[in-house]
Structure 1
Amino acid sequence: MLLVSCLLLALLLDLLFQEPARYHPLVGFGNLASWLEKQLNSDSVKREAGCLKGRFYGLVAWCLAVVPLTLLFFWLESLIADSEALQLLLGGLMLYLAVGWQSLLSHGLAIAKPLAAGRLDDARQAVGMIVSRDTRELGEHDIGSAATESMLENGADAIFSAIFWFCLLGIPGVVLYRLSNTLDAMWGYKNERYLQFGWAAARIDDLLNFIPARLTALSYALMGQTRIAFAAWRQQAGNWKSPNAGPVMAAGAGAINVSLGGAAVYHGQLQQRPQLGPETGDSAGAESIRNACTLVNRVLLLWVFVILIAGLIMALAPSITARGVSL
């Protein structure tokens, strides 16, 4: 039941305080990652596109950034193994720092409100804070599509993957995941600067998200319009450029019956992206953003319930086994 208590504490802290506005540990980690990248991703490495040198230095940088901190928290967890109170406090705090539940919802609603009121400039500014595509010329549908896609994809990245790794490997697991995911966000771009150097960070993040992304997609389907979600997942997930975002976004779009994907401008270049969700689904807009937020909340409730039941079963199993042996 300690695992359940840590999860509930983390969600309570997130509900009350959201992400720390100042002095978030990930800011310091980001500064460390930027310094490492400047030291190891030299001009000569960038110029030698396609060689193993850039990938090797990127892997070294990833190891220097992630491994020592993960081992540190592995040691700390073993140090407090005899105190459930300290495990609860440290586990709840670290999971709270890794989960961006209320922050994600706040960003979504900050886009949906001005979009519903017809204040497109405010909506463009708000959506520009959470997506990498160009937002200056986006219309109502495009803003709604960008925000809805972000809510669905980041539901997996910011919430459910972190919970999965905490359940699987405890405090070191969630530290490993969150630091790796942060490096992917910083280094995982396919441009001249990061194409080789960021390869390891992107591939490791893909690996860490592989199972939780599919659990998220399954959860989206179960908590939404299940038949449409499974059909979209089966038909569209493989068309998406990301092996993990595809299942999550396809199933999520089907679950809320919205049509996503299509053209978008990234760094001045127009990209035609595959269809997500049913072609005859609802048009993206303020309502689809709210629906995506509601879906994330439903899935979070489902995960808490499943983890709680699993915790109760594990807690009762020894006494049931002992009773069976005595009989």
Structure 2
Amino acid sequence: MEALFNQLYSNGALLVLWGALLFHLILPFPREAHPAILWHKFAEQLADKVNTHSSYSQSIISGTLALLLMTIPMFALLLALKPLVWQAQLFDLALLLLAIDWRNTDKFTNQFVLAMAREDKEHAKMLLTPIVNRSTHSLSLLGLGKAGTETLIMSYGRNVVGVLFWYALTGGIGAFLYRMTVELGRAWSPSRKRFSPFGIPVIRLVVILDYVPLRLFALMVAVGKRTHEVFALLKLQAGSWPLPGPAWLLVAVGAKQQLSLGGPAIYEGSKAIRSKLGGRIAPSAIHIAQVQRLLAWRMFAWIVLQSAIMGFVYQGI
């Protein structure tokens, strides 16, 4: 037992992982005070300066340069700061704590489920509007259920699973940069006309970063009941969604719970035609709560499995 404890103690990567999860559980960052919000606002201000709606090729170049301008200085700054910290594990802990976020998603989901249960559309829209790019003012209860479910799924997938995946591969700096890149993708999403095609370069980068973790998490979601139906719908529907990582995760959850996801959405007054995913049941309050429980247990399994793999790789536990 003492030898096992010593091995665990000497494995700084695992201690950082568990420490960040524990600290986040006890004292999560309020969404309004999170660095990602400031980062998002700065990205929008930068886009206002350089996104001039010129030709397609010039917009792509502007988007690429803006992406590099946002990420490279931050990467260089983090690399320069790390040697100055007296304990490298504390630096990784701080960055992972800033990158990970499931408590704010839990808070949003609990409040959203209550609003949906009361059929309080205005309150549900108020909760949803700050965290999605799509227009919410015209959404019905059905549209709100779909939008809320998709938001819940992608928040857990990116803000927890994706962050933990990139932490395991690249440490705290990689996890933090992943979270900030995803936030850039949301700020410059080309689903809104004013960021098309300016936002395409960052979305392509997000697609690459999401590809493995979200697909692996989708496979974990598929395990258990209705596995055959999940894989059948993945084969049938995933290719119709523009982003491969989110496609697998949305289809897996939708098929698992037989929920209807996707479909048309309105972005800044323009209707975007999106494929329908999942099953046929319109998400209601009880279904959203069920999705939350499903994803929470799958995330717990992910954390246990990742801890075991990291222990074996880093220390041979």
Q: Structure 1-normalised TM-score?
A: 0.84
AA matched with 2:25: L
Residue 239 of structure 2 corresponds to which residue in structure 1? 238
Post-superposition offset of 1:2: 2.1
2:45 corresponds to 1:29: no
Given that residues 258 and 284 in structure 1 are in contact (C-alpha distance below 8 angstroms), is that contact kept between their aligned partners in structure 2? yes
Kindly tell me: are residues 303 and 136 of structure 1, through their superposed partners in 2, closer, same or farther at Cα, counting changes over 3 Å?
same
Which ranges of 4 or more aligned residues in structure 1 deviate by more than 6 Å?
none
Given that residues 55 and 199 in structure 1 are in contact (C-alpha distance below 8 angstroms), is that contact kept between their aligned partners in structure 2? yes
Identity of aligned residues (%): 25
Query: How many residues are matched?
Result: 307
Distance 1:133 1:26 in 2: 19
Residue 58 of structure 1 corresponds to which residue in structure 2? 63
Given that residues 228 and 278 in structure 1 are in contact (C-alpha distance below 8 angstroms), is that contact kept between their aligned partners in structure 2? no
- Structure 1 residues 224-254: Cα deviation after superposition (integer angstroms, max 9, x where no partner): 6433322222211111132222111001111
Residue 305 of structure 1 corresponds to which residue in structure 2? 304
Distance 1:127 1:22 in 2: 14
Given that residues 109 and 289 in structure 1 are in contact (C-alpha distance below 8 angstroms), is that contact kept between their aligned partners in structure 2? no
Given that residues 223 and 295 in structure 1 are in contact (C-alpha distance below 8 angstroms), is that contact kept between their aligned partners in structure 2? no
Distance 2:294 2:126 in 1: 24
Distance 1:2 1:224 in 2: 37
| Residues 154-233 of structure 1: pairs in structure 2 closer than 5 A | 154-222=155-223, 225-233=226-234
AA matched with 2:21: L
Which is worse superposed, 3-12 or 245-254? 3-12
Post-superposition offset of 1:297: 1.0
| Residues 37-56 of structure 1: pairs in structure 2 closer than 5 A | 37-41=47-51, 43=52, 46=53, 48-50=54-56, 52-56=57-61
1:231 is paired with a residue whose SS is helix
Post-superposition offset of 1:29: 2.8
2:316 is paired with a residue whose SS is helix
Which is worse superposed, 160-169 or 126-135? 126-135
2:195 is paired with a residue whose SS is coil
AA matched with 2:137: R
* Alignment gaps of 5+ in structure 2: 1-10
Residue 24 of structure 2 corresponds to which residue in structure 1? 14
Given that residues 98 and 176 in structure 2 are in contact (C-alpha distance below 8 angstroms), is that contact kept between their aligned partners in structure 1? no
Distance 1:34 1:146 in 2: 23
AA matched with 1:56: I
Kindly tell me: are residues 148 and 34 of structure 1, through their superposed partners in 2, closer, same or farther at Cα, counting changes over 3 Å?
closer
Residue 317 of structure 1 corresponds to which residue in structure 2? 316
Given that residues 95 and 172 in structure 2 are in contact (C-alpha distance below 8 angstroms), is that contact kept between their aligned partners in structure 1? yes
Residue 261 of structure 2 corresponds to which residue in structure 1? 260
Post-superposition offset of 1:259: 2.3
Kindly tell me: are residues 2 and 187 of structure 1, through their superposed partners in 2, closer, same or farther at Cα, counting changes over 3 Å?
same
Kindly tell me: are residues 30 and 147 of structure 1, through their superposed partners in 2, closer, same or farther at Cα, counting changes over 3 Å?
closer
RMSD: 2.4
Residue 74 of structure 1 corresponds to which residue in structure 2? 79
Given that residues 31 and 104 in structure 2 are in contact (C-alpha distance below 8 angstroms), is that contact kept between their aligned partners in structure 1? no
1:283 is paired with a residue whose SS is coil
Residue 137 of structure 1 corresponds to which residue in structure 2? 138
AA matched with 1:152: I
1:265 is paired with a residue whose SS is strand
| Residues 80-95 of structure 1: pairs in structure 2 closer than 5 A | 86-95=87-96
Kindly tell me: are residues 56 and 263 of structure 1, through their superposed partners in 2, closer, same or farther at Cα, counting changes over 3 Å?
closer
Distance 2:78 2:111 in 1: 35
2:274 is paired with a residue whose SS is strand
Distance 2:209 2:100 in 1: 16
Distance 1:196 1:258 in 2: 32
Kindly tell me: are residues 302 and 227 of structure 1, through their superposed partners in 2, closer, same or farther at Cα, counting changes over 3 Å?
same
Kindly tell me: are residues 61 and 137 of structure 1, through their superposed partners in 2, closer, same or farther at Cα, counting changes over 3 Å?
closer
